[in-house]
């Protein structure tokens, strides 16, 4: 097998909604791996490929910094990071290679039960809590709405009850979290699924060949499932 520098590094979510599906996808592509003692690195036994298990929010940065060649992460995180880099005048250095068939959810505006909502104009002058300030800011701009974005790092769904915000902008899949928090989905801002991102930095021909091989296998695996 190849030496260390020529092994592909792939960043995956360590533990969360994308973890099982991401590992499962690679196993279906033929990967056999063993877990490192630290539970942070998995070693590919039959492919020159290692897995780095991290928080999903760190995945675009790891690819941006060329620490990893590939990453599997939600389009919501990819888009938020892309806009955050742009806002800081930094060119996003990751490319979206393939959209995958798991991790489906949507980023939506949700409002407390009983609150009035008739379209984006209802957001005017309101405080909206979110962990996606850049995507929300773009949405508000596109709809000519001025509102206050309250950026939180988590537990967005309880912000209205705590009096920190009027509305929220958060990920929804079944809607059960909203229901439990007496909120209702009012407007979808973005649809999301997991996707593969890659470094635009030139990699060796060997690595490039493995990226191509992996992409083809992923296409094959996804077609079988459809
Ligand atoms: P981490 O500890 O890695 O930061 P996290 O709490 O940010 O974990 P998860 O809740 O596991 O992340 O969600 C990871 C991704 O799964 C989301 O960014 C999104 O792309 C996708 N996802 C699919 N359905 C949902 C949902 N109902 N709520 C949240 N995320 C969802
Ligand atoms: Zn996260």
Question: Which CATH number characterizes residue 123's domain?
Answer: 3.40.190.10
What pLDDT does residue 101 have? 96
Q: Are residues 183 and 207 in the same domain?
A: no
CA–centroid distance, 74 to ligand 2, in Å, is 10
Ligand 1 atom closest to residue 13's alpha carbon, by position in its atom list: 3
Looking at this predicted complex, what is its ipTM? 0.97
Q: Report the predicted TM-score, pTM, of the whole model to 2 decimal places.
A: 0.95
Is 25 exposed, middle or buried (CB count within 10 Å of its CB: 0-12, 13-18, 19+)? buried
CA–centroid distance, 126 to ligand 2, in Å, is 26
Q: Are residues 181 and 216 in the same domain?
A: no
Q: Are residues 76 and 26 in the same domain?
A: yes
Q: Are residues 94 and 170 in the same domain?
A: no
Please, what is the average pLDDT of the chain? 95
Q: Are residues 42 and 120 in the same domain?
A: no
State the average pLDDT over residues 120-124. Answer: 98
Q: Which residues line ligand 1 (CB under 6 A)?
A: 13, 16-18, 55-57, 74, 76-77, 103, 105, 171, 173, 192
Q: Are residues 30 and 91 in the same domain?
A: yes
Count up the domains in the chain and report the number: 2
Q: Are residues 93 and 38 in the same domain?
A: yes
Per DSSP, the three-state class of 105 is strand
Q: Are residues 28 and 129 in the same domain?
A: no
State the average pLDDT over residues 115-137. Answer: 97
Q: Are residues 111 and 184 in the same domain?
A: yes
Q: Are residues 137 and 29 in the same domain?
A: no
Q: Are residues 183 and 200 in the same domain?
A: no
Q: Which residue range forms the structural domain that includes residue 45?
A: 4-102+193-225
User: Helix 19-28 vs helix 205-225: angle between axes, to the nearest 10 degrees?
Assistant: 100
Residue 2 has pLDDT above 70, yes or no: no
- Of the pLDDT bands very low, low, confident and very high (cuts 50, 70, 90), residue 223 is confident
Residue 37 has pLDDT above 90, yes or no: no
CA–centroid distance, 14 to ligand 2, in Å, is 10
Q: CB under 8 Å to 98, separation ≥6 — which residues?
A: 195, 196, 215, 218, 219
Residue 22: nearest ligand to its CA?
A: 1
Least confident of 51-55, 92-96, 120-124, 184-188: 92-96
Taking the C-alpha atoms of residue 30 and residue 168, their distance in angstroms, rounded to an integer, is 41
Q: Which two tokens stand for residue 222?
A: 């996804």
Taking the C-alpha atoms of residue 107 and residue 110, their distance in angstroms, rounded to an integer, is 9
Q: What is the pLDDT of residues 50-98, one digit of tens each?
A: 999 999 999 999 999 999 999 999 999 999 999 999 999 999 889 999 9
User: Helix 133-142 vs helix 75-87: angle between axes, to the nearest 10 degrees?
Assistant: 80
- Supply the Cα-derived Rg of the chain in whole angstroms: 20
Ligand 1 pocket mutation pick from 18, 155, 174, 195 by most atoms within 8 angstroms of CB: 18
Q: Are residues 94 and 13 in the same domain?
A: yes
Q: Which residue has the tokens 């939506």?
A: 108
């Amino acid at each position: 097998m190849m030496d260390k520098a020529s092994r592909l590094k792939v960043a995956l979510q360590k533990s969360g909604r994308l973890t099982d599906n991401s590992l499962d996808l690679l196993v279906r592509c033929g990967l056999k791996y063993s877990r490192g003692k630290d539970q942070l690195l998995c070693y590919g036994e039959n492919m020159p490929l290692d897995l780095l298990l991290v928080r999903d929010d760190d995945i675009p940065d790891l690819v941006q910094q060329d620490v990893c060649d590939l990453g599997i992460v939600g389009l919501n995180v990819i888009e938020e990071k892309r806009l955050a880099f742009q806002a800081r005048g930094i060119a996003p250095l990751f490319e979206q290679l393939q959209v995958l068939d798991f991790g489906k959810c949507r980023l939506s505006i949700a409002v407390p039960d009983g609150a009035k909502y008739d379209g984006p104009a209802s957001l005017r002058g309101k405080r909206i809590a979110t962990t996606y300030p850049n995507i929300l800011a773009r949405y508000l701009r596109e709809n000519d709405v001025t509102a206050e974005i309250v950026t939180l790092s988590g537990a967005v769904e309880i912000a209205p009850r705590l009096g920190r915000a009027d509305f929220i902008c958060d990920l929804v899949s079944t809607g059960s979290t909203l229901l439990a928090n007496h909120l209702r989905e009012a407007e979808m801002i973005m649809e999301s699924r997991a996707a593969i991102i890659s470094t635009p930095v030139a990699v060796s021909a060997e690595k490039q060949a493995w990226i191509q091989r992996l992409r083809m296998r992923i296409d094959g695996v996804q077609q079988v499932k459809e």
